């Protein structure tokens, strides 16, 4: 998937030779500085149109003006922003996505946008540029490789220029665009992996995709069935028993930081299709369970972005990948499994398989002595009920890490919201016959799943992102087409960038 060119420039709107120049229009038909400047350069050329503008600048509304005298562009698009005081980086990102799609549909090939001059509380020009660039790149993502007739626009958008007020900020804005490019590239990669169907995106396929990321700074090991047996990843093997496809265990080591610096471990659930196994799921929307590997896709997306940014940190990636099927050898309710770290697990429901494969992945990661562990998993339907698609569930054993991730979620727009992990919840996963059981009852399902995971991370600072509600979106949004969203990539990339500086 190729991405269009985005750059920054200091200059006046009326001088731009682009197909389209986008100017913001605020509530009450007020212009922002570049619009005011253009008004004086064009002898108040916009005034007649502003009178006719009957939407009064409501958020997302547009008015197009062709060949305005005194300007060099084909058209000016006045873009309604609404009440500037209510603007956030997330809204700015969505607005950029919305207008980009509309312009591409209308045949614009090159556009200049005067959007960084909008006031967003607490945001610098660079923050705004990053959000706008992400909005543009993410909104243009499509997944149509399986459509016989290409849906590609005949004249796709080729470039976007962010017009900024001061030349002095060009350097910082350029770096912000670099971050946005790497983040978007990581997100789009994660989306591609998520959108692949289960018959293509098998554990072996995920292993190949991970291996293809390897370079001199990124070492990738892909363990097959026999090596998984030798390693003793017995919980992963148990879930794999019912599947015709062999499992894979993927370990990535990115060395961008100091030699000897303990890495941050990123652990992902790579369940390439979750039928529920013997505790089979209902048929409705079962197709969506191809997205059950989106945790691993987020991990791979972050490694891709880290590489592209030359992130100055060491990272360890650990992905456990299998299908959850009900073949003749499938694991069964009542089975007892001994995980990699020796903990015994009573299986009460084979559909609570994510926590089982993560048990081995987390224990393996913890053994590598990382500074912190962050895991990504489409773990519980309960999280979809609790938070919907607006935020990932955020749990863990370390308040400082949780707070930092919450902050990065807010800053990146890839949001996460904390849920408590009081000791009392651990009671719910006590087993009569083994150390723990794999379900904790109907109450607090997202929390008891995290309690299960907590048994495998030791004492290390650990955070868990339940992306069950955020990893895919079948309605689509201004910045994500229907399907996988790449949730988790921008959030944790933001966290890694902050912790590196
Ligand atoms: N992959 C699912 C969680 C899921 C469900 C994600 C719906 C997104 C949408 C997971 O493996 C699962 O099946 N969890 C069960 C656990 C239950 C049996 C305790 C669930 O949430 O229903
Ligand atoms: Mn399941
Ligand atoms: Zn699952």
Q: Residue 452: which pLDDT band, with cuts at 50, 70 and 90?
A: very high
* Alpha helices (runs of H) in 196-293, residue ranges in sequence order: 203-211, 225-231, 234-240
> Would you say the CB of residue 354 lies under 6 angstroms from ligand 1?
yes
For residue 379, give the ligand 1 atom closest to its CA.
Answer: 3
pLDDT (mean) for 44-73: 86
Q: Is the pLDDT of residue 53 over 70?
A: no
Note the pLDDT of residue 208: 99
Give the residue from 490, 484, 390, 470 showing the smallest Cα distance to 190.
484
Return the residue whose CA atom lies nearest to atom 22 of ligand 1. 381
10 Å Cβ neighbour count for 152?
10
SS3 10: strand
- Name the residue of 381, 382, 425 to mutate for ligand 1: max ligand atoms within 8 A of Cβ: 381
> Would you say the CB of residue 323 lies under 6 angstroms from ligand 1?
no
pLDDT (mean) for 102-128: 97
The terminus-to-terminus CA distance of the chain in angstroms comes to 30
> Would you say the CB of residue 88 lies under 6 angstroms from ligand 1?
no
How is 374-436 classified by DSSP, letter by letter? EEEE---HHHHHHHTTS-EEEEES-HHHHHHHHHHHHHHS--EEE----GGGGGGGB-SSSSE
For residue 440, give the ligand 1 atom closest to its CA.
Answer: 19
Q: Are 306 and 313 in contact (CB under 8 A)?
A: yes
The H or E element that residue 166 is part of is: none
Instruction: Kindly report the three-state secondary structure assignment for every residue of 172-202.
Output: HHHHHHHHHHHHHHHHHHHHHHHHCCCCCCC
> Would you say the CB of residue 375 lies under 6 angstroms from ligand 1?
no
pTM listed for this prediction: 0.98
Note the pLDDT of residue 1: 63
Note the pLDDT of residue 49: 86
Q: What is the DSSP letter of 261?
A: P
Look-up: residue for tokens 């006046």?
A: 12
- Name the residue of 331, 380, 388 to mutate for ligand 1: max ligand atoms within 8 A of Cβ: 380
Q: Is the pLDDT of residue 151 over 70?
A: yes
Note the pLDDT of residue 227: 98
> Would you say the CB of residue 333 lies under 6 angstroms from ligand 1?
no
* CA–centroid distance, residue 359 to ligand 2 (Å): 14
**Four-way CATH pick for 186-500: 3.40.630.10, 3.10.20.740, 3.30.360.10, 3.40.50.11710:** 3.40.630.10
Give the residue from 361, 379, 372 showing the smallest Cα distance to 405.
372
Mean pLDDT of the chain: 97
CATH number given to 5-163: 3.40.220.10
In whole angstroms, how far apart are CA 373 and each of 138, 178, 249, 266, 324? 27, 26, 17, 6, 25
Note the pLDDT of residue 311: 98
pLDDT (mean) for 102-117: 97
CB burial of residue 23 (10 Å; 0-12, 13-18, 19+): buried
pLDDT (mean) for 417-424: 98
pLDDT (mean) for 49-62: 79
Express each pLDDT in 277-306 by its tens digit: 999 999 999 999 999 999 999 999 999 999
β-strands 264-274, 314-324: how paired? parallel
Q: Is the pLDDT of residue 199 over 90?
A: yes
Q: Residue 91: which pLDDT band, with cuts at 50, 70 and 90?
A: very high
> Would you say the CB of residue 14 lies under 6 angstroms from ligand 1?
no
Note the pLDDT of residue 55: 60
> Would you say the CB of residue 309 lies under 6 angstroms from ligand 1?
no
* Alpha helices (runs of H) in 33-114, residue ranges in sequence order: 33-41, 47-52, 89-105
Residues serving a catalytic function are 281, 355
Domain ranges of the chain: 5-163, 186-500
Note the pLDDT of residue 57: 82
Q: Are 353 and 249 in contact (CB under 8 A)?
A: no
β-strands 75-82, 20-26: how paired? parallel
More confident residue, 151 or 363: 363
Q: Which residues pair with 113 in a beta bridge?
A: 22, 162
Return the residue whose CA atom lies nearest to atom 13 of ligand 1. 351
Note the pLDDT of residue 54: 63
For residue 445, give the ligand 1 atom closest to its CA.
Answer: 19
CB burial of residue 145 (10 Å; 0-12, 13-18, 19+): exposed
Note the pLDDT of residue 501: 73
Distance CA 5, CA 375 (A): 33
- Say whether 186-500 and 5-163 share the same fold: no
For residue 354, give the ligand 1 atom closest to its CA.
Answer: 11
Radius of gyration of the chain, Cα coordinates, nearest whole angstrom:
24
Return the residue whose CA atom lies nearest to atom 9 of ligand 1. 381
Q: Is the pLDDT of residue 368 over 80?
A: yes
């Amino acid at each position: 998937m190729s991405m269009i060119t985005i750059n920054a420039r200091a200059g006046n709107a009326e001088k731009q030779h682009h197909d389209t120049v986008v100017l913001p229009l605020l509530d009450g038909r007020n212009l922002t500085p570049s619009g005011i400047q253009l008004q004086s350069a064009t002898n108040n050329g916009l005034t007649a149109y502003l009178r006719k503008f009957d939407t009064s600048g409501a958020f997302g509304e547009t008015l197009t003006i062709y060949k305005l005298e005194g300007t060099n562009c084909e058209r000016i698009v006045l873009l309604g922003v609404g009440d500037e005081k209510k603007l956030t980086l997330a809204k700015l990102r969505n607005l950029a996505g919305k207008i980009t799609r509309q312009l591409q549909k209308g045949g614009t090939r090159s556009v200049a946008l005067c959007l960084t001059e909008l006031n967003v509380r607490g945001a610098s020009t660079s923050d705004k540029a990053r959000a706008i660039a992400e909005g543009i790149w993410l909104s243009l993502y499509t997944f149509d490789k399986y459509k016989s007739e290409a849906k590609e626009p005949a004249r796709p958008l080729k470039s976007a220029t962010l017009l900024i007020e001061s030349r002095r900020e060009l350097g910082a804005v350029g770096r912000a665009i670099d971050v946005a490019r790497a983040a978007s590239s990581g997100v789009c990669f994660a989306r591609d992996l998520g959108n692949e169907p289960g018959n293509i995106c098998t554990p072996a396929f995920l292993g190949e995709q991970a291996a293809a990321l390897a370079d001199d700074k990124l070492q990738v090991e892909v363990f097959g069935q026999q090596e998984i047996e030798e390693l003793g990843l017995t919980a992963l093997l148990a879930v794999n028993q019912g599947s015709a496809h062999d499992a894979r265990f993927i370990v990535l080591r990115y060395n961008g930081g100091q030699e000897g610096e303990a890495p941050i471990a990123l652990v992902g659930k790579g369940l390439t299709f979750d039928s529920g196994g013997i505790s089979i799921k209902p048929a409705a929307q079962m197709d969506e369970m191809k997205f059950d590997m989106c945790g691993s896709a987020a991990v791979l997306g972050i490694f891709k972005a880290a590489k592209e940014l030359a992130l100055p940190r060491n990272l360890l990636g650990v992905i456990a990948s299998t299908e959850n099927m009900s073949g003749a050898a499938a694991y069964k309710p009542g089975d007892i499994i001994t995980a990699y770290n020796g903990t015994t697990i009573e299986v009460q429901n084979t559909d609570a398989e994510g926590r089982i494969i993560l048990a081995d992945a987390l224990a393996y990661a913890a053994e590598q002595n990382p500074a912190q562990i962050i895991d990504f998993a489409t773990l519980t339907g309960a999280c979809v009920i609790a938070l919907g698609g607006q935020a990932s569930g955020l749990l863990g054993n370390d308040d400082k890490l949780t707070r930092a991730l919450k902050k990065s979620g807010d800053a990146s727009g890839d949001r996460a919201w904390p849920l408590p992990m009081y000791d009392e919840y651990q009671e719910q996963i006590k087993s009569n016959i083994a150390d723990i059981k794999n379900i904790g009852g109907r109450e607090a399902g997202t929390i008891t799943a995290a309690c299960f995971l907590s048994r495998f991370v030791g004492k290390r600072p650990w955070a868990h992102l339940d992306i069950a509600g955020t990893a895919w979106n079948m309605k689509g949004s201004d910045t994500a087409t229907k399907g996988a969203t790449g949730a988790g990539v921008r959030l944790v990339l933001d966290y890694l960038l902050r912790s590196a500086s």
